[in-house]
Structure 1
C-alpha cells in the first residue's frame, strides 16, 4: 500500500487540473518506463503491454535503434519548422515513406502532427481536387478529435455532444460489422444488404456527383477491430470510381505493419487515392502524413496544410529508424506468425467458454467479443471484470464498444511474453466462468 501512494499522489495532483474530456479512463497507474512489450509504473509494477499505446508503439517501447536516432538528432537540431525549410531527416523520409504507399504512379505527401490532422487533410485535398463538398464516412469510425476528423467519426456520442455544429457536408453510412449480420444470413446476402444501405443516401438525397470522397477504415480500430468484407470494399470502391469520387483510407491505427502488411488496405487488393498515417509512423512521437496521388496532393497550395512542428527533425529521424526496425526485424512476418498463435489461443478459449463470442485476428491485431451466454449480446460488465482482472494479473488490455477486448501488443512481443499473456487470460477467463470476479469500485468510469 505504501508503494501505491506514489501513483495516487501523482494522479491526485493531475486530476485537479486535467479535463475529463482528455482521457478515456481505465486504470489508476502512472507509467514511468517501457522496454519492448513491457511497461513499468512509478510504483515498480511491470505489465505486459497488450495495447501498444493505442497501436502507436508497434516497434515496442524505447527500441535502442529508435532511441539512438532521437538522441543523435536532438543533439544536432531539435526543431526548425518544415513549413519554410527542409531538414535532413525529413528530406530523406519523404521519398522513403512515399515509396511504401500502396498507390501506383507518382505519389506525394504532406506532414502533420497527428492522425486527426491527417484525416482533416483528406477532406481538404479531396474537396480541392474534385471541386465537390460532400464527404461519406462510416458508423463506428474513429478518425480523430480535430473538427474535421471528429465530424467524420461516429464511435462515441461524446465526440459530438455539446460541440456542434460539426463540419457540414458529412454523411455517415453503416459499417459492415458483425453486430449487423442477421441470423442465418450468408456472407453474400450480408454484403448485398450493407451495400444497399450504403447506396440509400445516393438514391434519395445525396447526388453522387457532389461527393468528394469516401473515407473508410478497412479494418476499424476503436469500432471493435473489425475487417470489412472484401466483396463489400470492392463494391464501394467500384461505386466511387464509377462516380468520380475519391477513395480514401485511414491507416492511422491499422498501418505500419500492425496487420501483417504495411497497410491494412493491402488485404483487399485495392489502391486508395488518399491515405492517412500516424501513431506508429514515428513510434509514437507526434508525426503524421497524408499520402496520395500526386495530382490530388498538388491541388492545394501552401499554406493550406502546413504546421510549425509537423515533420520536424526529431520526429522524422524517429520515423526513419522506425521503418528500419520494421524492415530489419521482419515485423510484418512476425505479426503474421504471432498473430496466428494468438488466434489459435482465443479460438480455443472460445470453444471452452460460452461468454466468448466472435474472435477477429488480423496479425497481432485482435478484437474478442465478450457476450452474455443467455442473450448472445455484448456483456459490458463481464468485459470490465475481465480487463480489470487481466490488469491485476500483470497485463494491460482495454475494452472497445463496451464488450470487445482490444488485443494489439507491440509487434516485438516475444513468444515467451505471449505465452505468459495466454496464462493470464486462462486464469481470468476461468475466474469469470466460476463467478469469482467482481466489478472494480469505479466500474462506471471505465471505458468508452
Structure 2
C-alpha cells in the first residue's frame, strides 16, 4: 500500500501514521493487516459521535436510495432546509438567523468573509497569531503558520491584519492571565492608529480554541473585549467553530464558554459524522447581504451529507453527548494534570473539555519546546495501538480529539498506552542529554 501510495498520490499530502485504515467503528480503527487502534485523533475532530455511528449510517443509506445530489441551485430539497433550521436554532445568539451550506471548513470561512465584506462594504479582515483557517488561497493567507501551510505559495491577498492571541503558558514571566488580557486588549486602541484604517475593516475571524495552533484558549475577558471592539467599530465578529463545534469542548459551541454571541459561526468537521459538509450560520441580515447567485457551489449541502448532519444532531440529543463530553474532559484532563506533576517533559496541560492538549518541553524552567520528543511519542503511540496527533507553532503539543462516545474501558486503555510511551520516551531523551 505504501509503495502504491508513493507512486500514485501527491507528495504534498502528509500522513501522521503508517496505518492504512480498512474499517472503523465507534472509537476503534482497524487497519488492512487486521490490527486495531484506539482513536484519540478522531480524524482531526470529525468523529465526535464516533466512527460509523449506526444512526448516521442508516440516514446515509436511506438518503442514498432516494436522492444523491441534484444540486441545490437547480432543484432545492427539504433536507437542506431542515438542517439549516436546526443550525439556526442551535448556534449561539438570540436573533434572527440564516444558514448556507458548503463542502469544507475553508469554504465556510471564505463564504463568511464574502458575507461580511458585502454587508459592510469594507475589505479588511483581522485574524490572529497561530491561527489556522484553511488551505485555499484566501484561508491559507489567514492562517498564521508559514511551514508547512504557506511556504512557496505566495503572493497572498492583501487587507489581512494579524493581532496577538493570548498564550498564557508562554507569556512574559510574572504576568497573570488578567494582566496579559489587559495588555492585549489595550493594544486594540492603537490598532486603527498604527495598523489599519477604521473604515477599512469588515470582519474579525477567531478560533475560540486554536486548533492547529496548539489548543490554546483565551479567557472570557479577552473574548468579550474583542466582541466589544467589533461592536463599537461596526466589525462583523466571526467564530471559526470548525474544530470546536458539536460538543467538542463540553458545550455545543465553544463560544458558549465565553458568553459571546458571534455574528457569524462557521462549522464543519463533526457536523456530519465524516461526510463532506460545512455551514455558515448567523445574523440574517449579514447572511443575506450577498445577492442571489453570489453564494454557492455545485456540490454544497448534498442531500446525503445533510441527512448525515441531521442524524448527528439527533445522536447528540438522544445519547446526551454534551454530558458525556464533560465527563470525558474531566477524566482526560485529570490524568494529564497528574502526569504534569510526575514527568519533567509535561510542561503545560490546557484546553476546554475533552479538546485538551499537553505541551512537551525539554525543561520546565526554560520551556524549550521538545519537538523531537513529541514526534517520537506520536510514532511510538500508534505503534503501540493508539492514534494521537501533534500541533502547535513549535510542533511540540500533543492534542486530543477522541470520539465523545468512547467508553471508560477504552479511555483507560488509551491513557495507559500514552503514559507508558511518554515515560519511556522522556527517559530516553534525558539519558541522551545526560551523555
Same fold by TM (over 0.5)? yes
2:94 aligned residue (81, 98, 104):
104
| Paired residue secondary structure (2:12) | helix
In structure 1, which of residues 193, 201, 205 is the aligned counterpart of residue 191 of structure 2?
201
SS at match of 2:65: helix
Partner of 1:255: 245
Residues in 2 aligned to 1:144 and 1:436: alpha-carbon distance in whole angstroms: 34
Asked if the contact 1:123–1:148 (Cα under 8 Å) also holds between the matched residues in 2, the reply is no
Alignment counterpart, residue 13 of structure 2, candidates 5, 11, 22: 22
- Within the candidate set 413, 425, 429, 2:422 is matched to 429
TM-score by length of 2: 0.95
Structure 2 residue 81 is the aligned partner of structure 1 residue 91:
yes
How far apart are the structure 2 equivalents of 1:434 and 1:137? Answer: 39
Question: Partner of 1:122 in structure 2?
Answer: 112
Q: Measure the CA separation in 2 of the matches of 1:34 and 1:395.
A: 14
CA contact (8 A) 1:174 1:198 kept: no
Q: Specify which of 257, 261, 264 is matched with residue 254 of structure 2.
A: 264
1:404 aligns with 2:394: no
Per the alignment, residue 239 of structure 1 pairs with 229
Which residue is 1:384 aligned to?
Answer: 375
Report if the CA contact (8 A) 2:373-2:429 is conserved. no
RMSD: 1.6
The count of residues paired between Structure 1 and Structure 2 equals 429
Other-structure match for 1:33? 23
Structure 2 vs 1, CA of residues 437 and 117 (structure 1 numbering), >3 Å: closer, same or farther?
A: farther
Among 161, 173, 182, which residue is 1:171 paired with?
161
- C-alpha distance in 1 between matches for 2:23 and 2:153: 35
Match of 2:407 in 1: 414
8 Å CA contact retained: 1:60, 1:410: yes
Which residue is equivalent to 1:7? Answer: none
Displacement, 1:88? 2.7
Deviations 1:203-249 (A, max 9, x none): 21302222101110011111111111211111111111111111111
User: Partner of 1:444 in structure 2?
Assistant: none
1:346 partnered with 2:339? no
**Which 5+ residue runs of structure 2 have no aligned equivalent?**
none
Contact 1:385 1:437 (8 Å CA) reproduced: no
Matches of 1:49 and 1:42, distance apart in 2: 16
Q: Is the 8 A contact 1:259 1:365 kept in 2?
A: yes
Aligned 8 A contact 1:339 1:361 in 2: no
Which residue of structure 2 lines up, in the alignment, with residue 159 of structure 1?
149
Q: In 1, distance between residues paired with 2:429 and 2:38?
A: 23
Unaligned runs of 5+ in 1: 1-9, 440-448
- Shifted more, 78-87 versus 58-67: the winner is 78-87
CA–CA distance in structure 2, aligned partners of residues 176 and 327 of structure 1: 33
Partner secondary structure for residue 16 of structure 1: helix
Matches of 1:425 and 1:41 in 2, distance apart? 20
Please say if residues 209 and 351 of structure 2, whose CA atoms lie closer than 8 Å, have aligned partners that are also in contact.
Answer: no
Offset at residue 438 of structure 1 (A): 11
Secondary structure of 1:157's aligned partner? coil
1:157 Cα deviation from its structure 2 partner: 3.0
Of 301, 311, 319, the match for 1:329: 319
Give the corresponding residue for 2:216: 226
1:46 aligns with 2:39: no
The answer to whether the 8 A contact 1:385-1:438 is kept is: no
TM-score by length of 1: 0.93
Report if the CA contact (8 A) 2:248-2:404 is conserved: yes
- Asked whether the equivalents of residues 431 and 437 of structure 1 are also in contact (C-alpha less than 8 Å), the reply is no
Residue 192 of structure 1, aligned match among 163, 182, 190: 182
CA deviation vs aligned residue, 1:112-171 (integer Å, no higher than 9, x gap): 100000000111000000111100001111111122211211133332222222222111
Q: Does 1:318 align with 2:311?
A: no
3-state DSSP class of the match of 2:8?
coil
Describe the SS at the equivalent of 1:21.
Answer: coil
CA distance in 1, matches of 2:263, 2:429: 51
User: Cα deviations across residues 395-421 of structure 1 (Å, max 9, x unaligned)?
Assistant: 000111211001110001111111101
